[in-house]
Structure 1
């Protein structure tokens, strides 16, 4: 039998295409040659289950993650994330906000990052003298003043990318910010975020789908973002009827199908909990709605992340026809409500003890890990 050290690079590169993310990292730690091979993009990486991005450890300041594939926690030193609040994930990258209301876009495992300008309406650095300094209420559109510490965790409700920055340099970042979840975008080289006009009411979700950004409104309207001649929202598709109390909605690209995930919530002894989900396909061409009763054995992951779906049959620990959810609501109870909904038997189960999330500081975020 040949020694592992004698394996040629093309064989090693092929082996890496079957590795889970933790094993891929271990592979690259063997020696310099294997580390170089681990960064090869000759073969597409193996499908990966999303990780949960958790809180920062107080003592070490390491960022905590939870891997679904091996049901383990990992604590990783990522200095760029120290003291930053995670407000979104997309294509394996995280959006993180600091106390000065500026942000970075970072791949936490390669530590490549982009500096983001201060979030709207700031176009200059914010001078934060103390955490109790007040921000005028008209900034957030709400009835009271906000501290910068509060703004750090509430200013951006969601953030997504059009493309992986490692794949395309001309990507676009889109956020929902402020009390009304107003859409705004940024591109590399821009000095400020550009606010998109035409919004009626606040927004529920945003998605990049088949070359366009779409915004979902709570008044059951789906918008497409027109960038020219001036950025604005234009109504498309059928009006979407929704029911229930405490409802949230998510848009997801399911293998080329635009799906709307309706999440039904209610109060149980003062705690906000999830009761169930509906899956609807708004057909933009025929202007009608289709209800889905299963998702062909796949699994969906919804929350503050860009849409994620995986073939559950590839992962023994993944539930087929399952909707894995975290919370994006700015409620002190929100961190306690996450798990997986089985579309087959319509039951909800917990992933594991939720006591690892200290409310209301941290909301877990789904992330597809990548070092490629």
Structure 2
């Protein structure tokens, strides 16, 4: 039998490409050389199941994660995330908002990050010591004024990236903010966010698909973002059926743009998820197709860029399953997440642990991207 310590780095690098992220971290803890090898990007790593980004632990201030592949929790010290609210994930990066209504874009495992300007409508640096105590209620929907602690958790509903910043230095970050989920974008070097005009009503979701950003609005109206000469939304695609569902998502699935509708029903005092519908709006043919399965794959829905994996590669992953995270629309705010089986149209649990309220923190899906 070969002595492992005698294996050359190129062989070790090839071996590590088959390891899951937790196992790769354990591999790197053996010695200095193996730690160096574990960070190699010479060979593309195997696909990874996404992790859930959970709450910050009160005592240690470590950020808590849940790995679906080995059904374990990991608490990781990430000082840059202390006191910040996670409002989105994309390409393995997290968007996090702090009390100053500013944010960072960070890779939690490499600790690389970008400072983001204050979110709209705050167009300049905010001094938390001189802030007014309240924010006008006409900016965020509700019968009362909001404190900046509350604004931290509701000002941005979703944030995504056009590209992985590790792969492409010139990228675009897009958010949906405020009462109407208005789209705005930022690029490295910009001093502030640029609001996209032309919105009719509010927005449900946003996606980067085939070199364009698309925005979904009520009535299933699909827009594309035109950046030149002035950023604005333009209606595209077929006329879709008016839907009366509380939540809709746009998904890039194997090069297909899908619309995922989430249906709800009463569960005690709460409104909870009881099913999904999958539609493909063909932008070239102006035709709608309904899907009854997703070819053995699994989708992961929530406040993250669309994620899909081949479930046959992961024994613990449900084929034709839609994994979702949400917060119920009710007086008793609580978590509503599970996995929907498109074959038998039933929902089961994939996470049986308590998620800490209050405040209710929405878990976010994140695909580890440390290499």
* TM-score bin (small chain): over 0.9
Higher mean alpha-carbon deviation, 141-150 vs 259-268, is at 141-150
What's the offset of the Cα at 1:328?
6.1
1:194-231 deviation per Cα after TM superposition (whole angstroms, max 9, x unaligned): 00000011100000000000000013200000000000
Partner of 1:206: 206
1:316-346 deviation per Cα after TM superposition (whole angstroms, max 9, x unaligned): 0000000000116776656420000000000
Find the residue that maps to 2:259 and give its secondary structure. strand
Partner of 1:291: 290
Partner of 1:84: 84
Distance 1:303 1:328 in 2: 10
What's the offset of the Cα at 1:356?
2.1
Tell me if the contact between 1:54 and 1:64 (Cα under 8 Å) persists in the aligned partners.
Answer: yes
Give the number of equivalent residue pairs.
371
What's the offset of the Cα at 1:244?
4.2
Tell me if the contact between 2:327 and 2:336 (Cα under 8 Å) persists in the aligned partners.
Answer: no
Tell me if the contact between 2:196 and 2:231 (Cα under 8 Å) persists in the aligned partners.
Answer: yes
Tell me if the contact between 1:335 and 1:364 (Cα under 8 Å) persists in the aligned partners.
Answer: no
Find the residue that maps to 2:138 and give its secondary structure. helix
What's the offset of the Cα at 1:272?
2.0
Find the residue that maps to 2:44 and give its secondary structure. coil
Tell me if the contact between 2:327 and 2:335 (Cα under 8 Å) persists in the aligned partners.
Answer: no
Distance 1:274 1:360 in 2: 21
Partner of 1:166: 166
1:251-274 deviation per Cα after TM superposition (whole angstroms, max 9, x unaligned): 010010000000011332221200
Find the residue that maps to 2:201 and give its secondary structure. coil
Tell me if the contact between 1:92 and 1:368 (Cα under 8 Å) persists in the aligned partners.
Answer: yes
Distance 1:75 1:223 in 2: 40
What's the offset of the Cα at 1:359?
4.3
From the superposition, tell whether residues 324 and 74 of structure 1 become closer, same or farther in structure 2 (CA, over 3 Å). Answer: same
Q: How does 1:194-233 map to 2 (within 5 A)?
A: 194-233=194-233
1:153-174 deviation per Cα after TM superposition (whole angstroms, max 9, x unaligned): 0000000000000000001000
The alignment's C-alpha RMSD in Å is 1.7
What's the offset of the Cα at 1:234?
0.2
Partner of 2:325: 326
Partner of 1:337: 336
Distance 1:41 1:123 in 2: 39
What's the offset of the Cα at 1:138?
3.4
TM-score (norm 2): 0.96
- Stretches of structure 1 that go unaligned for 5 or more consecutive residues are none
Distance 2:40 2:80 in 1: 25
Tell me if the contact between 1:237 and 1:287 (Cα under 8 Å) persists in the aligned partners.
Answer: yes
Tell me if the contact between 2:269 and 2:330 (Cα under 8 Å) persists in the aligned partners.
Answer: no
Distance 1:295 1:281 in 2: 11
Distance 1:132 1:51 in 2: 37
Higher mean alpha-carbon deviation, 330-339 vs 143-152, is at 330-339
What's the offset of the Cα at 1:275?
1.1
User: 1:102 and 2:102 equivalent?
Assistant: yes
Partner of 2:303: 304
From the superposition, tell whether residues 124 and 140 of structure 1 become closer, same or farther in structure 2 (CA, over 3 Å). Answer: same
User: 1:15 and 2:15 equivalent?
Assistant: yes
Distance 1:299 1:98 in 2: 32
- Stretches of structure 2 that go unaligned for 5 or more consecutive residues are none
What's the offset of the Cα at 1:21?
0.6
Distance 2:153 2:76 in 1: 22
Find the residue that maps to 1:134 and give its secondary structure. coil
Distance 1:334 1:251 in 2: 25
From the superposition, tell whether residues 242 and 266 of structure 1 become closer, same or farther in structure 2 (CA, over 3 Å). Answer: farther
Partner of 2:249: 250
From the superposition, tell whether residues 155 and 82 of structure 1 become closer, same or farther in structure 2 (CA, over 3 Å). Answer: same
Distance 1:35 1:359 in 2: 39
What's the offset of the Cα at 1:288?
1.3
